[in-house]
């Protein structure tokens, strides 16, 4: 049991634990769906920043834990970017369609750590 300085800290820790238990745990491969391969992502890989597609409701802590479990490296920092849905012209049908909103995570690794994609 952790020791808290104030009642407020104890209360917020309980609330955080309750939220985490409601969310449930997901498998690491459900959180880190796939590496994100784009020109910008490949350039960032040379600097130790790896990009992954993640579910919209994944938290930074969930992503860091999944990276640690799947790739056996400790992330230094995780940043999450929400990409909005876009309207695109459809090829087969006349009119406009909507591309789904997506979320990607930038995972910063410590100096010397790398992730190899097979």
CA distance 104 to 79: 9
Question: What pTM did the predictor assign?
Answer: 0.73
Contact predicate 44/51, CB 8 Å: yes
Contact predicate 80/105, CB 8 Å: yes
pLDDT the model gives residue 41: 95
Mean pLDDT, each 10-residue run in order, the chain (118 residues) = 58 59 70 94 95 95 95 96 94 87 96 89
Q: Which domains does the chain have, with CATH numbers?
A: 26-109 (3.30.70.330)
């Amino acid at each position: 049991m952790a020791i808290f300085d104030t009642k407020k800290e104890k209360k917020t820790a309980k609330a955080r634990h309750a939220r985490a238990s409601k969310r449930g745990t997901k498998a690491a491969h459900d959180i880190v769906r796939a590496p994100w391969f784009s020109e910008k992502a490949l350039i960032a890989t040379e600097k130790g920043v790896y990009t992954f597609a993640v579910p919209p409701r994944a938290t930074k802590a969930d992503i860091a834990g999944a990276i640690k479990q799947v790739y056996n490296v400790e992330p230094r920092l995780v940043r999450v970017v929400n990409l909005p849905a876009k309207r695109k012209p459809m090829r087969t049908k006349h009119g406009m369609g909507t591309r789904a909103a997506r979320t990607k995570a930038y995972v910063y690794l410590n100096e010397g750590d790398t992730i190899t994609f097979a």
